[in-house]
Amino acid sequence: MKNFTVFDPTTVAEAVSLLAEHKDEIKVLAGGQSLLVLVKQGLVAPAYLLNIKKVSELKGINPQPDGGLRLGALTSHSEVLNSPVIREKYAVLPEMAIKVGSVQIRNAGTLGGNLSHSEPAADPPPVFLALDARVKAVGPNGEREIPLSEFFVDFYETVLAPDELLTEVIVPPMPQGAKGAYFKFARKKAVAFAMVSVAAIVSLSDGKINDVRLGLGGVGQTPLRAIEAEEVLKGKPLDEKVLAEAAGAVMSVVDPVSDVHASAEYKKEMAGVFTKRAVREAAARARGDR
């Protein structure tokens, strides 16, 4: 492994100016659970690492006056799992967080790092997509908010510019009466990426689906929001016919790749199956059945 120089900024401004100065030669180091693997394997060989763990502005789980939530980029998966505030308002987040890697990885890995790494089969993206989250990015020319649905570009690529730092994940309030569910299909219960994963947020009104949002992981080059399937479900009573239609809509937009775990065809089929399961479960929770 090639040696590198590490910077330890203590403010976002300092961090961003170092990014701007070294652009393509520098990588951001947060929890290191993805980056250090790539560095050790020689897949990336940065001359500089920007260690952001001393930037206190990037820490904290902050409930907002509008009922939403702001999560600092350095929030660990364990913090998401154990936060009483998150558990109370967004139970689907700990339901997801416990499926990330292992205890060791959850203790070290961060939300900002996970999202910026843009691994299409990671657990957080589908859930934050279904929660309609945004991320805040700070660059030399100021800050911007990016809807997560526009954030992922390709395998390990996001819309972040080389001199931009993801500083915060912004989660809007849950829709009135909505509940979420997250289903992950993998070969193992731990240290496994999803073959397919589906997050559903569902609210009901008069026995019909009022609002629904679907996030999917593992089914293509990026995690995705399944808008077409959401449109199929909205305003309909939840029955097997409409679930099958939604599953069909999901299967027509996903584009998984074959790998050692499963064929693309199988993953596509499972994307439909797990969409049905996630929507059914979120709806049952919204009804108060469980």
Residues that bind other proteins (CB under 8 A): 1-6, 29, 32-33, 36-37, 39-41, 49, 51, 53, 78, 98, 101-105, 107-108, 189-191
155 phi and psi, to 5 degrees?
-50, 125
Nearer to other proteins, 81 or 93 (CB): 81
C-alpha count within 13 angstroms, C-beta hemisphere, residue 173: 7
CB of 131 to other proteins, least distance (A): 24
CB 198, CB 231: distance < 8 Å: no
CB of 80 to other proteins, least distance (A): 15
Nearer to other proteins, 5 or 64 (CB): 5
Nearer to other proteins, 93 or 135 (CB): 93
CB 113, CB 31: distance < 8 Å: yes
SS (H, E, C) 235-247: CCECCHHHHHHHH
Nearer to other proteins, 76 or 149 (CB): 76
CB of 26 to other proteins, least distance (A): 13
State how far the Cα of 103 lies from the Cα of 250, in Å rounded to an integer.
32
CB of 41 to other proteins, least distance (A): 8
CB of 34 to other proteins, least distance (A): 9
CB 128, CB 169: distance < 8 Å: yes
Residues 6+ apart with CB under 8 A from 182: 92, 95, 96, 99, 123, 126, 127, 197, 198, 199, 200, 278
CB of 44 to other proteins, least distance (A): 13
CB 73, CB 112: distance < 8 Å: yes
CB of 108 to other proteins, least distance (A): 5
- Give CA separation, 65 vs 68, 69, 178, in Å: 7, 9, 19
CB of 84 to other proteins, least distance (A): 15
- DSSP, res 56: G
Nearer to other proteins, 77 or 213 (CB): 77
Strand partners, 22: none
Nearer to other proteins, 69 or 100 (CB): 100
Nearer to other proteins, 105 or 216 (CB): 105
List the strands of the sheet with 48-51, edge to edge. 5-7, 48-51, 26-29
Nearer to other proteins, 188 or 290 (CB): 188
